[in-house]
Amino acid sequence: MAFTAFSATAAAAPHAPRKRSWTALILLAPGIAYMLLFFLAPFIQLVITSLQAPADTGGIGDYVAAFQFSNYAAAIQEYWPHILRSFVYAVIATIAGLIISYPLAYLIGVRLRPYPMLQGLALILVIAPFFISFLLRTLAWKQILPSEVIGTDFSVIFGLTYNFIPFMTLPIFASLQQLDLRLVEAGSDLYASPVTTFRKVTLPLSMPGVVSGTLLSFIPMSGDYVNASREFLGSTSTPMIGNVIEASFLQTQNYPLAATLSIILMAIILVIVATYVRRSGTEDLL
């Protein structure tokens, strides 16, 4: 009987994982289909476009399928100042956003925690800019800032910082909102100074929010083309790589160049993000 029972169990065991695997596959199917349709397929098309060569007709926007890998070397050689400028702007704006957002998030998430109404009001003030169009907000600053400032590096970095402040503030607020204040009180009870308590307790526990906010801000900043545009806060001396990609796609119709620069931008961002996340000790975000 024991052998029969063991045999029945052994025979039934292989079926259970199979059912679970089918269930998991069905549940994952929408996500997999989404990734294939909206990420993998466009990415493959982007790679194919980046390797195209000009057609013999010589017409604007006429390209044929090829394996012209020299497109990448030519793009880097010609547009490396734009690539470098984009990442310098993005790094400075991200640091400025962090300096502004962390105290703001600390105020809302920790100091205003005993006052739910004030905390909700402060959160609404942070989110309020989202209710206005990105373009309108940027154009408004073009009217507010002095004309001498418009078209400079400062105005572009200012625009990037302002427009992405909520992306930095909200993740940090979410981390600080979960902070157990008894740990901070324990630091004081152990005669640690406020600075030491912040460095040893508050900052490490809020690092997931800092890393998330930094990535959510830095990645779109690197590819932004609105703030640096001449129609908004930039000038002919401040174009970012996003402006070159936009002009190549929509104006000069140089599709291989635009696709090549897009892939280069994506690759550099992936390397920077992976390095940053690993060095910050939050590999779970990868």
* pLDDT averages per 10-residue partition of the chain, 286 residues: 43 56 85 92 94 87 91 95 95 96 95 93 90 91 92 95 94 93 88 90 91 93 92 92 93 94 94 85 58
Write out pLDDT tens, residues 13-70.
555 556 667 888 888 899 999 999 998 999 999 999 999 999 888 788 889 999 999 9
The rounded distance, in Å, linking the Cα atoms of 253 and 44 is 19
Q: Which residues pair with 252 in a beta bridge?
A: none
Q: What local confidence, expressed as pLDDT, does residue 270 receive?
A: 92
User: pTM, whole model, 2 decimals?
Assistant: 0.84
The rounded distance, in Å, linking the Cα atoms of 31 and 151 is 43
The token duo for 258 is 């635009």
The rounded distance, in Å, linking the Cα atoms of 43 and 166 is 29
Q: What local confidence, expressed as pLDDT, does residue 57 receive?
A: 83
Q: What local confidence, expressed as pLDDT, does residue 217 receive?
A: 94
Distances (CA, A) of 194 to 46, 80, 94, 198, 207: 52, 45, 26, 6, 18
Q: What local confidence, expressed as pLDDT, does residue 6 receive?
A: 40
Q: Which residues pair with 63 in a beta bridge?
A: 54
Coil vs helix vs strand at 162: helix
DSSP string, the chain: -HHHHHHHHHHHTTHHHHHHHHHHHHHHHHHHHHHIIIIIHHHHHHHHHHT-EE-TT--TT-EE----THHHHHHHHHHHHHHHHHHHHHHHHHHHHHHHHHHHHHIIIIITTT-HHHHHHHHHHHHGGGGS-HHHHHHHHHHHS-TTTTTSHHHHHHHHHHHTHHHHHHHHHHHHHT--HHHHHHHHHTT--HHHHIIIIIHHHHHHHHHHHHHHHHHHHHT--STTSTTTT--TT---HHHHHHHHHHTS--HHHHHHHHHHHHHHHHHHHHHHHHHHT-GGG-
